[in-house]
Amino acid sequence: MSLLQRGHLIAMGRMGCRRMSTDSDRVTPSWVKPLFWAGIATSQVSTFFIFRDLADLSQMIVEPPRSSTIATWRYRNLYSAATLCPLGLGGLLKLAYPAVCSWPLFSAMSVWTGVLFFSGVINPHIMMRARNQKDHAVYVSQEDAIKLLPDGADEPCIILEVDGKAAAYPDSQALRPHVVNADEVSEDVVLTYCGLSNLGIAYTPKLGGKSLDLHPMTQMENNLVMYDKNSMEPVQQFWGTTESRMECQCGLGNVERMKEWPTYRLTFQNFCKAWPGSKVFVNDYSTQGLKPSFLGNPIQFIYDGMMDLIFKSSIVYQKTNEKPVFPTLKTKDNRLPNKENVYAVPLEGDDVAYTKAFVQEKKIINTTIGGRKVVVAYFPEFDAIGAFHNTTGQQVNHLDFYGRLKDGRKLPRVETFKAGCFWCVWINWFPQTDLNRI
């Protein structure tokens, strides 16, 4: 190759380099950066609302209005699109015009958005994985349960009784799924549990003649909010009805609610004594001895371990500290310590709560709640409190744990009885509650 040819090639190479540099600048139109950053900003704002309103952890710091949480849930698909589409557009612009933003900065923004989006939209459905589908809930014998429960015989349990058949739902086992199909006692009942309020409520999931497919959604003001997978409407655990019914109510007493079933509290040991041979619900994805091993499924093992730690730490804090885990309670009442367990009897819009010490002292209380005669009693042999409809037409001076009178008649349990709810959560939702009524 001659010197002339070699020099020509070198010159062409230099011109090509200059052209590439010039082309890189020239092919990034002035509209690209504004569009890119507008998309990123839109994505960030949208995912902030998703995280703030639908992720549990965010509500430990931020106190979103109830209306905002409900609105974000109802328009979550729009928020999701407003998060992912602009972020995807930003990625395309970054690939087409690399100079629009540095890769480290774009990667950091993408990861941050992904974490917030996962926390608010995806993680709630994975971490609680409600076992309310038919044939999915796992029940074991009392002999097997004692080997699985972390607190053994002292494990606190919610007892669900339907038509004389009972099953136990230990707090530690119901904590993660929140919603459990109660087919051990009835195919038409679900047990809902909220660790923040320490409350288990059983419902027949039907409204307006239509079945509801209940799943956990989030928490609001330290109480469980579910949603109906059929209509996607939020369902508040305390109210037992959809949010749309509450919004159009003329008065709380006029709102249609799901049918409730009697529940009460016993330790596992006392449950075995009261209902020998009855089954116990266990969470098969969270309980040692039932959940997958690390070698069997390392990702699930690590994930569930982290979630269990977060849940258990939050519940320990809720039980042992004066302040609630989520600082979102609007109503306070100093008649009792915040975390005192109360036994509430709401009937016909008349709400009455009792402390355990008061009922223990009185032993048996004949009273009127919501215009109906009620008996509230303490049963020392099971260390339990129960509430019964007084259908005798006279004062009741003696009945046993099962509601049986001396003459053989049996009083029905109050279906709406709430056993062992934290006072600060209860009074927040039912601020007109009367305390220790005689």
Residue ranges in the chain modelled with pLDDT below 50: 3-4, 7-11, 15-26, 132, 250-251
Domain that holds residue 97: 32-127
**Is the CB of residue 255 less than 8 Å from the CB of residue 204?**
no
CA 190 – CA 137 distance, rounded (Å):
10
Q: Which of 103, 127, 151 represents a domain boundary (last residue)?
A: 127
Statement to judge: residues 119 and 152 lie in one domain: no
Q: Are residues 142 and 275 in the same domain?
A: yes
Q: Report the C-alpha gap between 235 and 226 in whole angstroms.
A: 5
Do 153 and 224 lie in one domain? The reply is yes
CA distance linking residue 289 with residue 247, whole number of Å: 45
240, 353: one domain: no
Instruction: Please name every residue paired with 379 in a beta bridge, in sequence order, or none if there are none.
Output: 384
Does a structural domain hold residue 112? yes
Residue of 149, 155, 127, 5 lying closest to 56 (CA atoms): 127
Q: What is the DSSP letter of 412?
A: P
Please indicate, yes or no, whether residues 46 and 149 belong to a single structural domain of this protein: no
148 plus 118 within the same structural domain:
no
What are the distances in angstroms from CA 407 to CA 112, 375, 389, 393, 397? 68, 17, 16, 14, 12
Domain end residue (candidates: 263, 282, 301): 282
d(CA 90, CA 36): 5
Residues 87 and 158 in one domain: no
Sheet of strand 384-389, all strands in order from the earlier edge strand to the far edge: 364-369, 372-379, 384-389
Let me know if residue 362 belongs to a domain: yes
pLDDT for 250 equals 47
Q: Output the DSSP codes for 287-300.
A: STTTSPPTTT-HHH
* Polymer length of the chain: 438
Let me know whether 54 and 85 are in one domain.
yes
Predicted pLDDT of residue 330:
87
H or E element, residue 366: strand 364-369
Instruction: For residue 342, give both structure tokens.
Output: 């109360």
120 in the same domain as 232: no
144 plus 257 within the same structural domain: yes
Q: How many structural domains comprise the chain? A: 3
- Residue 331 resides in a domain: no
Please give the structure tokens belonging to residue 51. 């995280």
Specify the pTM: 0.87
228 & 148 share domain = yes
> Which residues have a Cβ under 8 Å from the Cβ of 156 and sit 6 or more positions away?
170, 171, 265, 267, 268, 420
Closest CA to 51 of 62, 42, 40: 62
Q: Which of 252, 282, 312 is the last residue of a domain?
A: 282
Rounded CA separation 171/314 (Å)? 14
Contacts for 169 with CB less than 8 Å, ≥ 6 apart: 157, 158, 159, 160, 180, 191, 193, 200, 280, 281
- Convert 44-68 to b/e letters by CB count within 10 Å (16 or more is b): bebbbbbbbbbbbebbeeeebeeee
- 313 token code pair: 């730490």
Q: What is the pLDDT of residue 333?
A: 94
- Alpha helices by DSSP H, listed for 279-409, are 298-320, 356-362
* Per-residue pLDDT at 247: 72
Q: What is the pLDDT of residues 395-406, one digit of tens each?
A: 999 999 999 999
Please calculate the CA angle 100-106-108 and round it to the nearest 5 degrees. Answer: 160
